[in-house]
Amino acid sequence: MTACPNRAAPPLAPPAVLSARPYRPRGTARDHRAAAEPRRPRHPRTACADGPAPDPRGGLSTRFAHRLVEVLTGSRPSGQLLRHTTLDCYGQLSALVRAGTLRGTRGGERPRLGPVHDRSPAPGAVEACVRVDLGGRHHMVAFRLEPRGPSGQWQCTAVEAR
């Protein structure tokens, strides 16, 4: 065969690159280990579904009290608590916000929360109250939390502020 003078020679193959990972053929010990251990669920709610119900006194009422007071004082929009309240409770909350029950007299005044007192009158409910110091005035906020829906998410079912 004669070489064609207009045709370029084929490019050379690049040198083989050694990888840092060792070669493992399929069916090695790594695959057997994965089959022996049950796979853990990745979603946190799925992982907790079989375990005991969370203790509502583990800071749930305290965290909710802070957010509730922020909504009542106007520093947080009330829509952020929509999924954490029932429809009736959201109506109560909206009425309290419109009435301005916990609005400060001076702008920039931050509320100070006292300790949150909570108790469980029934196995599936928590009632809590907190004293709110706003300027020279003291207010009380009370609310009730219950697990609702198929997921058992804790929701506020009643709220009062004076």
Whole-number Å distance between alpha carbons of 101 and 139? 9
Run means of pLDDT, 10 residues per run, the chain, 162 residues: 62 61 59 56 49 56 94 91 94 93 72 91 92 90 92 92 92
Q: What is the mean pLDDT of the chain?
A: 78
Whole-number Å distance between alpha carbons of 151 and 53? 11
Q: Is residue 81 packed enough to be buried (19+ CB in 10 Å), middle (13-18) or exposed (0-12)?
A: buried
Closest alpha carbon to 131 in 105, 161, 96: 161
Angle between helices 60-73 and 87-99 (to 10 degrees): 40
| Assessment of whether the complete model's pTM goes beyond 0.85 | no
Instruction: Tell me if residue 33 falls in helix, strand or coil.
Output: helix
